[in-house]
Amino acid sequence: MIVDNYLLANIEYIPYIDENGQLPEQFQGKIGVYAVFDRDQELQFVGYSRDVYLSLKQHLVRQPQYCYWVKIQTIERPSRTLLENIEKAWIEDWITQNSHTPSGCAEHKNQWTQAINVKELMTPEENANYNNPIHDEIARIKIIKNVARRIEAEILKLLQMRGLQTEIRFNPKLKEEGLLDLKS
């Protein structure tokens, strides 16, 4: 399929969080490809989704330090081939122009696409407490839930400082597993 009509350079930047503290709501329920840029408009991640808005919300929680600008190309009917071709063309175009692959499209892709594993973010004290042999499974679950709550509070504080007004709700059931992800 021809993707020349969908060149990344031809698409306008949209603020990730607008002046009212909202994400780009016009993309709720829209199918499309999107490119996420940092504060300096350096490409960080390219993806596609059946609901661009929900994906952007998820990325903002997972990688708030990199979500400042976005470029979005929607399509009317689902076509995985077209979406994949646009995604690939955008990444290749960026590499050609900038001589490097965005880290979110390579070695750090999981940080953009997977739930946050709070076990990787434990303080040394939390880690020692969690791995203490005197603790049973119930005690470990309680410890990991507290770590998840701490990380969640840090993320929410950062997003509040950025002026976000959109409601963010994490899935409480995943916290027991040491994961943070938005409630769908």
Q: Is 66 helix (H, G, I), strand (E, B) or coil?
A: helix
Mean pLDDT of the 49-57 span: 96
Contact 12, 71 (CB under 8 A): yes
pLDDT attached to residue 4: 58
Mean pLDDT of the 100-106 span: 89
pLDDT attached to residue 135: 87
Contact 111, 104 (CB under 8 A): yes
Contact 70, 23 (CB under 8 A): no
Cα dist. 66→5, 50, 103, 105 in Å?
A: 27, 22, 11, 13
Question: Over pLDDT 70: what percentage of the chain?
Answer: 97
Please indicate, yes or no, whether the overall pTM of this predicted structure exceeds 0.75.
Answer: yes
pLDDT attached to residue 5: 62
**Across 5-9, 41-45, 102-106, 147-151, least confident range:** 5-9
Mean pLDDT of the 144-173 span: 96
Long-range contacts formed by 164-170: CB under 8 A, 24+ apart: 164/17, 164/21, 164/23, 164/60, 165/20, 165/21, 165/22, 166/21, 166/22, 166/23, 166/57, 168/57, 168/61, 170/61
Higher pLDDT, 17 or 107: 17
Mean pLDDT of the 70-81 span: 93
pLDDT attached to residue 99: 87
Closest CA to 179 of 138, 147, 156, 142: 147
Cα dist. 41→83, 136, 145, 146 in Å?
A: 22, 47, 35, 35
154 Cβ contact list (under 8 Å, min separation 6) = none
For residue 184, pLDDT over 50 is answered with: yes
pLDDT attached to residue 21: 97
Mean pLDDT over the full length of the chain: 93
pLDDT attached to residue 1: 44
**Residues 159-182: tens digit of each pLDDT:** 999 999 999 999 999 999 999 999
Q: Which domains does the chain have, with CATH numbers?
A: 4-108 (3.40.1440), 116-180 (no CATH)
Distance CA 117, CA 109 (A): 14
Mean pLDDT of the 126-152 span: 94
